[in-house]
Amino acid sequence: MDAYSDTPDDPLPRAGRLAWWGTAWLRGDIGPDDLLDAVTGSDVAHLVVGAPAGAAGLVPLLADARDRGATAVGAAFPAAGDPIGVRGPAPFTAAAVEAGEAALLLGAEEALVPTVVGRAVEWVRHPAARRPPPDLGEADRALRSAVLDAANGLADLDVAAWSPEIADELHDLRHGTGLVAPPGVPDACRALAGRAIHLQDVIALALESEGGALSLGEIERRRALLAPLERAVRAALTAACSPDGWPPAIASPR
């Protein structure tokens, strides 16, 4: 059994898994089976649309990208009006925003956008402009600040009266979803990604619980309070899953 063949499905989004495990493979820290097991999870297959001849799978595609200068895989989690982590061209940005995620082959000026087709995933290739590296420290600080602002704002709306678990989860800044990461992923990145995913679940719970609101105005205020937190979560995931922004001082040795 390979070292990571028993890795359970990871709550990390597909682009984040490809970023972490694809980078580890490009750096020689894991084997191809480890990469495929971690990225594919319970999906039947992952295929690359528009790949060069003989490179329709993830491993051949990454090998081809390495030959063209790729040194790592980064991730981006953009949304409409906030294309964080991507810098065009326009067709790629539009596809990444629609999917809500993308994996960038850093150094090859190319990106992959996932589309779920039944139980399979198709990664569509796009030319991608070079982006400024995400700032891990800034993303961490912004997430902590957004959590506090959301918690205080929801407290003013007396969220605890109708959903005490939401208030409790927001106030516990140490809580995070446990994630499996390959060698080379800094502990700070794994922790930040875990907190971001946990907060995604908290946001979803808060929006699902809108029946507890007293008025339409209160519902709109709650959504407005959560919008900055949702953006901070996407920025945190982008930074945590982007080796181009990992400070060398905290990066794990190869």
Per-residue confidence of the chain (254 residues) as pLDDT tens digits? 233 333 446 789 999 999 999 999 999 999 999 999 999 988 999 999 988 887 789 999 999 999 999 999 999 999 999 999 999 999 999 999 999 999 999 999 999 999 999 999 999 999 999 999 999 999 999 999 998 888 887 777 665 555 566 666 665 555 667 899 999 999 999 999 999 998 988 888 777 755 554 566 777 777 888 899 999 999 999 999 999 999 875 544 44
Question: What is the extent of the structural domain holding 33?
Answer: 14-132
| Pair (33, 120) in one structural domain | yes
Residue 157 in domain: yes
Amino acid at 61: L
| Pair (97, 194) in one structural domain | no
Q: Do the Cβ atoms of 36 and 60 come closer than 8 Å?
A: no
Residue 214 in domain: yes
| Pair (127, 49) in one structural domain | yes
| Pair (68, 40) in one structural domain | yes
Q: Do the Cβ atoms of 184 and 254 come closer than 8 Å?
A: yes
| Pair (101, 88) in one structural domain | yes
| Pair (160, 96) in one structural domain | no
Of 132, 167, 190, which residue constitutes the final position of a domain? 132
Residue 252 in domain: no
Q: 52 is written with which tokens?
A: 């060069």
182-208 burial string, b = 16+ CB within 10 Å, else e? bebbbebbbebbbbbbbbbebbeebee
Residue 1 in domain: no
| Pair (120, 36) in one structural domain | yes
| Pair (155, 50) in one structural domain | no
Closest by Cα among 109, 108, 106, 83 to 95: 83
| Pair (76, 159) in one structural domain | no
Q: Do the Cβ atoms of 58 and 143 come closer than 8 Å?
A: no
| Pair (55, 124) in one structural domain | yes
Rounded CA Rg of the chain: 19
Total number of domains in the chain: 2
Residue 228 in domain: yes
| Pair (150, 127) in one structural domain | no
Q: How many beta carbons lie within 10 A of that of residue 118, not counting itself?
A: 8
| Pair (192, 111) in one structural domain | no
